[in-house]
Amino acid sequence: MTNFTWYDVSDATVGLLFGLAGVLGGYALRGLIGRWQADALEKQAQIKLAEADGEVKNKLKEADILARAEVVKAREEFEKSTKARRKELQDIEERLTVREENMDKKALLLEKKDQAVSQKQEDVQRKAEELLQRRAEADKRHAEAEQRLQRLAGMTHEEARREVQKQAEQEVRSEAGSLIRRMQEEAKETADREAARIVMAAVQRFALSHASESMTSTVPLPSDDIKGRIIGREGRNIRTLEAVTGVNMLIDDTPEAVVISGFDPVRREIARQALEQLVADGRIHPARIEEVVKNVTENMEKTIAEAGESAAYESLVQGVPQEILRCIGRLKFRTSFAQNVLRHSVEVAHLMGMMAGEMGLDPAVARRIGFFHDIGKALDHNAEGAHAVIGAEFLKRYGESAVVVNGVASHHEDVPSEGLYGVLCSAADAISSSRPGARAETIGVYVQRLERLEAIANSFPGVKKTFAVQAGREVRVIVDPGQVTDNDAMVLARDISQQISANMQFPGQIKVVVVRESRCVEYAK
């Protein structure tokens, strides 16, 4: 067991006391430091509070100043608007005052007008009563005068009225007739001038070269020695050539040339091409002649189709079926009074297109009709009738429009024209045929044919005059109406046509027109 002394106890006590004193001192120091910090924080808070109070006072002052400014501004605006409103109200009051004054004036004027109208009504009523009295007196006097006039004239009122109406009707009819006649004459003169202008414009704008074809063709030879080879031993070569081609070969004194003669242009062309090939080849004997003619004949269809296509392209006609083109191509070897029919068709197509453009019609339709108008001449050896009707039926079978078909059928007046295209085709056909050099018919033959037509018609009883027109395509017969009746005229036309068919040869057909008229003539004295 350990023993302690009082020294040990006193040291521990002192240590404990010092420890307690340190703790107490720490607490006291801590309290002082906390009090100091709190005082510092309080002072800072007071400073910030003072600053905030200053800022608040400043903000309040600024807000007060702004509010007072807004109040002043609002007061000024209110005063301005109030002043403007007062001004408007004052203006309205002034206008109302003026209107009231005007209304008072108008009221006075209306009162005056009402008084004037009442006065006028009274005057009108008084005048109406006076007029009624005068009318009654006038009716009485008129009735008395009418009775007196009826007694003097011996006519009633209805009879006199009918007589006056009749005279007025006659005068009106006379004036209407003269007016209609004058208008018709003016229209005819205008139409003639316009037609002449259109025709001259078409003729001037289009010119086609004319190549008059004859019934013969000439084949040039390299030398006269080849003529003997063409004739052959005892003439067998030339006889074979004439037999297979159907033409006549004229080998005369013409130097270095052979003349081919024939009425069929296709056969004449086949013979010309075959002879040219034989001369170029040099082998001329009957077998070779038959072979060459056969080849040329087979190639002729191709030539005809190419001619039709070329003519359609030149005429600006599109969409033509191949059958129609082949038929058109045959016209290359067809002539009418020595005028090539295919070239004639091309010219008519262009002339019709130009004239249709001048008249406001469709140029494409007009060119198509002009191009097809003589297509029947390539078919008339296979059918009976006029070439215009034959061609129209052919075109109808291949789907051409009714306008084109009628234009082709009516260009020689074989059927009535349903529009202007038929008349236009007739005019273009006449222009193309009458060009100088277009047709070359012997004048003597032409005159003899016309005289023969007129002589046949004049041989019938009752015929006064006869005129052959349209280049011999039509005969107009004027008969005596005292000897020939309407029924006799129909029979006479048939008899004349039969007599012409029996005694004359002609292409196409001839139209016979019998004219019977009665004229009533009176003389005013």
Looking at residue 44, its pLDDT comes to 84
The model's confidence at residue 213, banded by pLDDT at 50, 70 and 90, is: very low
Q: Tell whether 219 is covered by a domain.
A: no
For residue 324, the tally of other CB atoms under 10 A from its CB is 22
Looking at residue 4, its pLDDT comes to 47
Q: Are residues 433 and 455 in the same domain?
A: no
pLDDT digits (tens, 9 = 90+) for 5-22: 544 556 677 778 877 887
Burial of residue 471 (number of CB atoms within 10 Å: 0-12, 13-18, 19+): middle
The model's pTM = 0.45
Q: Are residues 432 and 321 in the same domain?
A: yes
Q: Tell whether 89 is covered by a domain.
A: no
Spatial separation of the C-alpha atoms in residues 386 and 306, rounded to whole Å: 27
**Helix, strand, or coil (residue 261):** strand
Domain count across the chain: 2
Q: Are residues 472 and 510 in the same domain?
A: yes
Q: Are residues 386 and 495 in the same domain?
A: no
Say if strands 248-250 and 511-515 run parallel, antiparallel, or are unpaired.
unpaired
Last residue of a domain, one of 392, 424, 440: 440
Cβ proximity of 486 and 462 under 8 Å: no
Q: Are residues 436 and 457 in the same domain?
A: no
Q: Tell whether 494 is covered by a domain.
A: yes
3-class DSSP string for 112-150: HHHHHHHHHHHHHHHHHHHHHHHHHHHHHHHHHHHHHHH
For residue 313, pLDDT over 50 is answered with yes
Q: What CATH number did the domain enclosing 368 receive?
A: 1.10.3210.10
Spatial separation of the C-alpha atoms in residues 446 and 163, rounded to whole Å: 63
Q: Are residues 406 and 421 in the same domain?
A: yes
Cβ proximity of 327 and 312 under 8 Å: no
Q: Tell whether 205 is covered by a domain.
A: no
**Torsion of Cα atoms, 21 then 22 then 28 then 33, to 10°:** 160
pLDDT digits (tens, 9 = 90+) for 135-154: 888 888 877 777 776 666 66
Q: Tell whether 379 is covered by a domain.
A: yes
pLDDT digits (tens, 9 = 90+) for 99-114: 888 888 888 888 888 8
Last residue of a domain, one of 420, 440, 460: 440
Q: Tell whether 424 is covered by a domain.
A: yes
Conformational region of residue 111, where left means phi above 0, alpha means psi within -120 to 50, and beta covers everything else: alpha
Cβ proximity of 473 and 512 under 8 Å: no
Last residue of a domain, one of 375, 410, 440: 440
Q: Are residues 436 and 323 in the same domain?
A: yes
Domain that holds residue 340: 315-440
pLDDT digits (tens, 9 = 90+) for 482-495: 888 888 888 888 89
Angle separating helix axes 322-329 and 341-359, nearest 10 degrees: 120
Eight-class DSSP state of 67: H
**Helix, strand, or coil (residue 217):** strand
pLDDT digits (tens, 9 = 90+) for 159-168: 777 777 877 7
Q: Are residues 448 and 510 in the same domain?
A: yes
